[in-house]
Each structure stands twice: as structure tokens, then as C-alpha cells.
Amino acid sequence: MISADDLIELVRNYNPKTNVQRLRDAYAYGASMHEGQFRHSGEPYFSHPVSVAAILTEQRLDDATIITALLHDTIEDTKASYGEVAQKFGDEVAGLVDGVTKLTNLQLSSVETKQAENFRKLFMAMSKDLRVILVKLADRLHNMRTIKSMRPDKQVQKARETMDIYAPLAGRMGMQWMREELEDLSFRVLNPEGRQSIIRRFITLQRESGDVIPRITRDMRKELEKAGIEAEVFGRAKKPYSIWRKMQEKKQGFSRLSDIYGFRIITLDEEDSYRALGAIHQRWRAVPGRFKDYISQPKSNGYRSIHTTVSGRDGKRVEVQIRTRQMHDVAETGVAAHWSYRDGVRSENPFAVDPARWISSLTEQFDAEENHEDFLEAVKLEMYSDQVFCFTPKGDVIKLPRGATPIDYAYAIHTRIGSACVGAKVDGIRVPLWTRLKNGQSVEIITAEGQVPQVSWLEIATTGKARTAIRRALREVDRDRFVKLGKELARAAFEHVGRKATDKVLETASKHLRIDGRRELLARLGSAELTSHDVVQAVYPDLIRSEDDQISPRRAVVGLEPGQSFERATCCQPLPGERIVGITFRGRGVVVHAIYCDRLSEYENQPERWVDLQWQGGTHPAVYGATIDLTIGNDAGVLGRICTLIGEKKANISNLVFVDRKPDFYRLMIDVELRDAEQLHSLMLTLEADSDVAAVERYREKAQVPARAG
């Protein structure tokens, strides 16, 4: 464990004017509060807060943040109180420690609705003081570095949460080094075999071609010296996860990837950065479409740099980033640069972003979201994406996430323009609305009076703002139809548990689900944004629980090893009563398939992963999902009668989606929850006997793509 003197020395290296006594007091107080507590590894617990503080010294952060790191678990895990921390270290530190405690208690990887609420709380906490999330990110980084001492299932849970939430958040804040390390540490847990394969291929590549990084670094330095440019040059191989992601995105093998090396050129000033770019392009051939100028068009988190990719005579591509020292400091610490110190004074970096303004710009676009799910989708889409910069016909810049389309661009300008969009021109040429926009393109939106958003736009749009506006407009257009369908679904669902879907019951359900009234609840139920299971559970949770004499879904399968978890395959949706087999996956447990599933052919050459399983004998609860592909006549009352038939067979409709609408027939997919295969067979016979049912069959996915490696 780092001693108090060593930690103080780390702070004094960048802030000689630090309050040494205050740091020493915080260290002593934290040590005394955590005395007798130990981590899973057996180390004293206080070694963790000290390591978190040390990580934050690498970003040259102020005393208040370092002290917060030392005390960040005291209020939650010890007898320390908010008042005591405030009395000893001031209101600023107490507020930060309390903020970190509240973040720790948020279950960001929980079920969607709760997760969305917690995401909103996360952003609210960030808006009060961004240093709270800086401490939390450092806390997560140290926990991931020491994750091996945790139980395997906890490792997987923490790694997934880190990959989904904390790593993208670090990247969005401009802390790219932390994002890369968090991703790689998570990758080590979630796919150790994939990571090892990348490392082995790197070793083979170095053996075959030598270490190219020193060679290219020397060549770049020579070219810059020839041009009279004073600069530092650094090279590195990209992280295993970054390479793995490129292989997945480009659907290429390792041998076909070219830009697996990255180089940085740090210049004295902005003019030299552009001169360095010229020198590099004169010596090596620039790769078209891989140039980005974030100096003239900075990212919202303050990031500035020139990015280019060049290739040599051997065809090897390398990525080059060029920026000044001040730009590099912001690139390394992102928004945290606002609090960093150099030589005892707050660093006056002209490129550091005001955190309050940054978090305000990030959250204002989500304020208009009508519900938590829309907010969550918008946050994730915006946080996980890089940006492209497009121009209006007047020359104004519109920032969009990578992969954005003209629909996203139109809604970014104004909701009214987005809703009235009928076409787009990119660089003066008419293009389809699903076209992916690229950096530097000029985009013109063509509108028409009377145009309304189309359902297909939801597949085209990528930004949260556009998707929310489209969904809202579609809800209004189809509201009456969705309300009518929602009534039928609600009636069938409540009859299934022996109750009636009265107005009072539906109002009660809407309050529990935090939805604005009965009509809005029915509209969401009819549009499949809400399941009938959720509605019934909100009012009568006891009626849908498993009976005491029913087999628990967690113990439904026989043949697993002690502690081994399982999940049903989505491709074949096996039901109790059907013959089954399991396929083992590292980190996922066992995936259960029906014996006739097409996907099993993909594992024929891996017999060691097969597990002989069978369903537990006895009565199962009606919780196993299956999908029915149904074609029915387009006549009044038919759909309502079908829902009633399903309810009478004691099956619960969990989702309903229209696949095709014709003047005389509808084709739809209905997800139902059942006890076993026998109940499904009985239900399908009943539906088939109805005079208005043209066709009914059980839906199963066909094997089209290889299953992901376990």
C-alpha cells in the first residue's frame, strides 16, 4: 500500500503548494475508519482508496479531489457521517464524498426502467460537480485492475457494466487512455480467449517483421527534422480490444487489418502541427477518407488534434495524431483538465472545457424526453458514438454521431424540419435517407408540406433526439389504433389472471409505471413499448408469481454442474417437454437449445462444449416465451377474439408486432408465455381451428451467421 508520504510526494510533483497537513489528516482519518476491513484479496481495505487517489494524481487533480478519493467509501462503509467529514475537511469535500456514495448505490446495469432512472440520476450528480464522476471512474479502474479476487459471476457482471457504461463515459469525457484500459480489462474477463489470440498474433507479427514502431518513429523524426519542425514522436500498438472491435466491425481477420499501430506527434504550436501534417503526407501516402481535423472543429469535450492515416511502400497503414502540448494535455485528461495543476497553480489551458457548460450541453438534449426509456436510449447513443461534422448550405456546422443519416441531420436542425423531410442532397447530389453521412459533407434537406414521419425512419435514425421525435409523432398518428389494440391486450391479460381491466385498474397501473394516464398506458401497450405482463404485475404482482408447488425457473433444468447458470436459446426457444441439449460458453454458463435446433450444427466439431440436459419433471410456471407467426383476416373484432382465445388457454401475451399489413390480411408475431410444449401445441390447435386464421406456425430463427465464440 502506498504510504502517506509517497502519496503526498505524488501530489507535490505537480502542485508544490498543496496543503500537506490536510492530505496527511485525510489519509490518517481514512485509515482509522477502514481499520479492520479487508478486500476480497485479503489486503487491507484502505489500500483501495489510496490507489484511487494515486490514479487521480496522474491527472494532476486538486487537493479536494484527492482527499475525496481517500474518503470516498467512508460514509457508505464505516461509522463516518456526512457531518463529521464536513467538520473535518469542509463542505466541498463532504459534498463530493456524498456524491460518490450516491453514485456507488446506483445500479446502472439493472433492468431497463430502473437503469434509465439511475442514468438520469448519474447525469444529475455529474451536473452538480463533475469531480464526482472522476473519482468514480478511478474507483472503477482500480477495481477492474484487481478484479481477479472476485467471484467469476461478479467479475462478468462488473466487466459488462464497465464495458457498457464506464468505459464509454470515460471516452465521452475525453479520457481516452482510461477508456482503452477499462475496455481492455473488461475484455480480459469477458473474452479471455479472444484477447489471448490477438496477443499471440501480435507476437507472431513482431517475429516475422520485427518491431516496426521504433523504425517508423525514427523515420518520422527524420522527416520532421528535415522540415525544421521541433516535435516529439511516440508510437504504440493499439490495445487488444481496439483491434478485436475493428475485426468485428470490418469483418476482417487479423492478417487483413492494417492500421494496428498508432503514432502521436506533439508540436510546439498549432502552425507546426499543420506543417508536420504536410511533412508526413509528403513522405507517406495519405489514405483517402481517413483525415479528420479536430483542431479547426474541436469535439465538445475540448479535444483537439489532427488525425490522418498513411500507408508506406509495404502497404502497412498507420494512424497518426498531431497536436500541441496543451492540446495533448486535454486529450489525456479530457474534461478533468479544468481542475489540473501545474507547478502549484491551476493549469490555464486554453483548450480545457468548462465542465458546467459541457455537462449542460450533454444533458439539455435529453430534457425533453417523455419517459425514462427514451432518455436512456438517447444517453447511450450519444455517449457511445464518435462525431461527424456536416455543413448546412449556409456553412453552419452540425455535429452528429458517427453513422448518422440525413434524418438525424434534419432533426438536429429542428424537429419541424425533420418531420417534414422528404429527401436530402449531399454535396449537391440527391441521396437516399438511409445514407451514412461523412465528415465535411454539405447537406440540404428537402421538405414538403403535409409530410409526416414514417415507421421506417426508426430503422434509419441513429440519434436519440431523432428517434424520440419520430416515435412521438408516430404515437400521435397511430394513437387511436394503438389505444384500441391496447384495450384488447389488457382485457386478455387481466382475464388470464381472473381479473377485469377496468378504468380504475388501468389508472392504478399507469401510476405504478409512472405513465401519464390510462390512455397513454393503452397506447404504449398497443405499440409494444410496454408488455401486458408489466401492466398486470404493476397491479396484481402476487397473481403472476409461481405457485409453491411449481418448479422454480432457476431449477428447471437437470444436468448442470453445481452453481452453473443457464439461459434458453433465443433461436429455438425450447420449452419444457421438448428434448434439449446445452452448449457451454465462457462467462455465460450454458445455453439450452432444442435438440432439433439448426444452430447446433455450428458446434458439431466442439463436442467438449455439449452438455446432456433434460427438463425437471413436474409442473412449470407459465414463464417460458415462444413466438407464434400468425396470419389473420382483416375484419372487425378478429384480433380481439384471437387475444381472448390465447387468454382462455392460460397463456400470457408478452408482446405483439405487426409484420405485414394487407387490405384483407394481417401477419403478426405474438410472443406468449407458456408452461410447456404441450400448452403451446394445444394453443396452436385452437388458433388453427378459428375460421379467421389463415396460417399459424411456431417461429424459429434460421442459422445464418456463426455463433459468437465462447
In DSSP notation, 594-624 reads: ETT-GGGGGGTT-GGGEEE-EEPSSPPPS-E
Cβ count within 10 A of residue 294: 19
447 closest CA partner among 487, 415, 471: 415
d(CA 262, CA 201): 17
At 423, the amino acid letter reads G
The CATH number linked to 689 is 3.30.70.260
**Is 483 among the domain residues?**
no
Decide: helix, strand or coil at residue 301: coil
Residue 417 sits in a domain whose CATH number is 3.10.20.30
Contact, 353 vs 300, CB < 8 A? yes
Task: Take residue 643 and report the three cell numbers written for it.
Answer: 387475444
DSSP characters for 362-390?
HHHTTTT-SSHHHHHHHHHHHHH--EEEE
Please identify every residue annotated as catalytic: 76-77
* CATH number of the domain within which 121 lies: 1.10.3210.10
Residues 180 and 200 in one domain: no
Q: Are residues 186 and 207 in the same domain?
A: no
At which of 453, 476, 499 does a domain end?
Answer: 476
Q: Is the same domain home to 701 and 566?
A: yes
Q: Based on the domain organization, do 34 and 142 belong to the same domain?
A: yes
Q: Are residues 174 and 225 in the same domain?
A: no
> Same domain, yes or no, for 8 and 112?
yes
DSSP letters, 24-64, are HHHHHHHHHHTTT-B-TTSSBTTHHHHHHHHHHHTTT--HH
Same-domain check for residues 341 and 370: no
pLDDT of res. 21:
93
Q: Is residue 150 part of a domain?
A: yes
Residue 343's pLDDT is 55
Based on the fold, state whether residues 186 and 201 are members of the same structural domain. Answer: no
Distances in Å between the alpha carbon of 704 and those of 229, 572, 601?
A: 54, 13, 11
Domain-ending residue, one of 298, 319, 346: 346
Whether 8 and 153 share a structural domain = yes
pTM of full prediction above 0.75? no
Residues 10 and 108 occupy one common structural domain: yes
Q: What is the pLDDT of residues 434-455, one digit of tens each?
A: 888 887 788 999 998 888 888 7
Query: What separation in angstroms does the CA of 487 have from each of 370, 617, 632, 653, 666?
Result: 22, 37, 19, 13, 19
Q: Do 13 and 124 belong together in one domain? A: yes
- Domain membership of residue 697 (yes or no) is yes
Beta bridge partners of 582: 592, 611
Is residue 485 one of the residues assigned to a domain? no
Q: Among candidates 551, 559, 609, 555, which has minimal Cα distance to 585? A: 609
3-state secondary structure 398-431: EEEECCCCHHHHHHHHCHHHHHCEEEEEECCEEE
| 203/205 Cα distance (integer angstroms) | 5
* 308 within domain boundaries: yes
Of 71, 80, 77, 57, whose CA–CA distance to 9 is shortest?
57
Residues 53 and 184 in one domain: yes
Q: Report the CATH number at residue 220.
A: 3.30.460.10
Q: What is the pLDDT of residues 106-150, one digit of tens each?
A: 555 544 444 555 565 666 666 567 788 888 899 999 999 999 888
pLDDT at 164: 76
Q: Which domain holds residue 200?
A: 193-346
Quote the number of domains for the chain: 4
In a domain, 406, yes or no: yes
Among 132, 167, 190, the domain-final residue is: 190
| Residue 537 domain-assigned (yes or no) | no
Low-confidence spans in the chain with pLDDT less than 50: 110-114, 381, 384, 546-548, 704-710
Instruction: Establish if 660 belongs to a structural domain.
Output: yes
Task: Give the model's pLDDT for residue 210.
Answer: 65
**Dist. CA 547–CA 624, nearest whole Å:** 15
